[in-house]
Amino acid sequence: MLGIVVTVPIAAAAASPLLAWREPIYIGAGFAGIVALALLLVQPLLIGGKLPGLSPLRSRHLHRWTGALLIAAVVGHVVGLWITSPPDVVDALLFVSPTPFSAWGVIAMWAVFAAALVVGLRRRLHLRPRLWRLIHAGFAITTGAGSVVHAVLIEGTMETFSKIALCVLVAVATAIVVGDLLLKETGSRPRS
């Protein structure tokens, strides 16, 4: 089922007539963004243990690898857009772009980079597990929310129904897993 949910929006975008007039690099950048959005559905499902047949250890391991793929997809998305239109990317990064979806994409990009940075520096920063999970979850929420708004506001190659469905699933999966995390964190505190 997850395979279908992830594949349908990509296949629908591949069938878009809007691709006929686009450069290959621009098309690649767009598909990198679609793949990143799909990975944002997989990430919370992995770390939340919501995918059947995977042990908690295997889920965490796959969550790390999927996170690396997510970073690569975001970088591919931004670099491809930079190659095809540097002024648009500069405007987006400076939050002066006339397109509202740009700001949401930039916020999501920096949040996913921050989440990865916290993972990389976790031991050096000597973060307690609870604090680390809350920080990482905060960046994950920002990444998911920013990406969903970014995708919904773009009128492009993604087919509307499959895009909205994927965005709703990303939001719901993130909310459920982060909600579970917060319940565990607050439930483990001693009551006064």
Domain limits, the chain: 2-187
Count other C-beta atoms under 10 Å from residue 78's C-beta: 19
137 burial via Cβ count (<10 Å: 0-12, 13-18, 19+): buried
pLDDT tens, position by position, 135-165 = 999 999 999 999 999 999 998 889 899 999 9
Q: Considering only CA atoms, which of 96, 102, 180 is closest in space to residue 140?
A: 180
Whether 154 and 44 have beta carbons less than 8 Å apart is answered as no
84-106: per-residue pLDDT in tens?
Answer: 999 999 999 999 999 999 999 99
- Residue 38 identity (one-letter amino acid): A
First-last CA distance in the chain:
44
CA distance 174 to 47: 10
- Looking at the predicted structure, is the pLDDT value of residue 13 above 80? yes
Give the whole-angstrom CA distance, residue 144 versus residue 37: 8
Residue type at 74? Answer: V
What pLDDT is recorded for position 46?
95
